[in-house]
Structure 1
């Protein structure tokens, strides 16, 4: 019996070590020092951003997907990121981040569904943000510990991976892309002389 207890404790210790040191949580901002392109928040999280993402449940299966439109605005070292989500189950959600750049490469983040302040670090091409989020009542109303990582790629697209835990146990994971919305181009409607400076401009389809 004593041997069985020892084996169980050893297995538990191995499981904890694996989750801590050989998993998503093992990476640190220092791992990405000097990487590029540099994640300049006031430039990258600015203007209109389009996003698509997948949400996975604790069993590893996709439980939901979404598309989102975001608008980033900055005034000095403070900014907002307004988000509007449309989920595959038909639900919609609107929320807003309030971002404040701090000393060094740190920043804080607040939102209506966040407990206190989120703590963020910018390092090279990455951003790490940790916070506690309160889920909507129709999603259980649980408070989860979230670790967000954003990775800026060479073409300006952000790859976002988030892990959500309850009592230290992973209960959900999110993978998403975030990219600048394409600029709307306009076409001139020609007049009788081939060009009319006063003609109505229409977006290209």
Structure 2
């Protein structure tokens, strides 16, 4: 085996070990069990909510800013969210979520640009929401995975940090601030 091949195997082993250690150090939803106020997805998003956010690329460069006007309607175990986006470049879009409560603190959701079914769970003041998304770029569409972590701050404020991944590699993030 050449010295280059040996070095490549050492680098791969080190990266695998580092990834394993980092995964073991990440927060888990159960870590928020005692955190207050409780998240209460349906309660928080029932009615009118506003949000402000930004998208950053893999270098942490801010690439877009946006505002969202959200109207939520609850009917039994179904929350419908109508989200109207306005981006800093003037683009406007709408996403309509249909979110179903499937158990205590457990949810599934669908929207037009979501691939398959989104899944979520809330514990304490946190909600983790995961889904595959069809991301439109200037000249194409790519499938990425969104991992949203939402944190209820108080009765009127909520924070959201989303990691965007492609093939398991972080390619961007979204930060959102919500207010009732």
TM-score, L = length of structure 2: 0.91
Name the count of aligned residue pairs. 177
Higher strand proportion (structure 1 or 2): 2
Question: 3-state DSSP class of the match of 1:116?
Answer: strand
Report the alpha carbon displacement of residue 11 of structure 1 after superposing the two structures with TM: 2.7
Residue 24 of structure 2: aligned partner: 21
What is residue 68 of structure 2 aligned with on the other side?
Answer: 68
Give RMSD over aligned pairs: 1.6
Find the counterpart in structure 1 of residue 169 from structure 2.
169
Q: Deviations over 1:126-156 (max 9, x none)?
A: 1111100112364631010110111000242
Worse-matched range after superposition: 5-14 or 166-175: 5-14
Structure with max Cα Rg: 1
Cα pair distance change 1:93/1:19, threshold 3 Å: farther
> Which of structure 1's runs of 4+ aligned residues deviate more than 4 A?
none
Distance 1:112 1:104, change over 3 A: same
Q: 1:139 to 1:40 in 2, by over 3 A?
A: farther
Partner residue in 1 for 2:102: 102
2:23 and 2:29 map into 1 onto residues whose CA distance is 16
**Structure 2 residue aligned with 1:83:** 83
Distance 1:114 1:102 in 2: 18
Q: Flag the structure with more relative contact order, 1 or 2, with Cα contacts below 8 A and sequence separation at least 6.
A: 2
- The 1:137–1:147 alpha-carbon spacing in structure 2 relative to 1, beyond 3 Å, is same
DSSP 3-state at the match of 1:30? helix
Q: CA offset at residue 117 of structure 1? A: 0.7
Q: If the length of structure 1 is used for normalisation, what is the TM-score?
A: 0.81
Supply the distance in 2 between the matched residues of 1:135 and 1:163 (Cα, whole angstroms). 14
Q: What SS does structure 2 have at the residue aligned with 1:146?
A: strand
Q: Using the alignment, how far apart are the partners of 2:14 and 2:125 within structure 1?
A: 37
- 3-state secondary structure, aligned to 1:43: helix
**CA distance, structure 2, for counterparts of residue 139 and residue 159 of structure 1:** 31
SS at match of 1:142: strand
Query: CA 1:63/1:3 → structure 2, altered by over 3 Å: closer, same or farther?
Result: same
**Which residue in the other structure is 1:116 paired with?**
116
Q: Gapped runs of 5+ residues in structure 2?
A: none
The Cα offsets for residues 8-50 of structure 1, whole Å up to 9 and x where unpaired, read as: 123322442355234xxx2221111121101112210111111
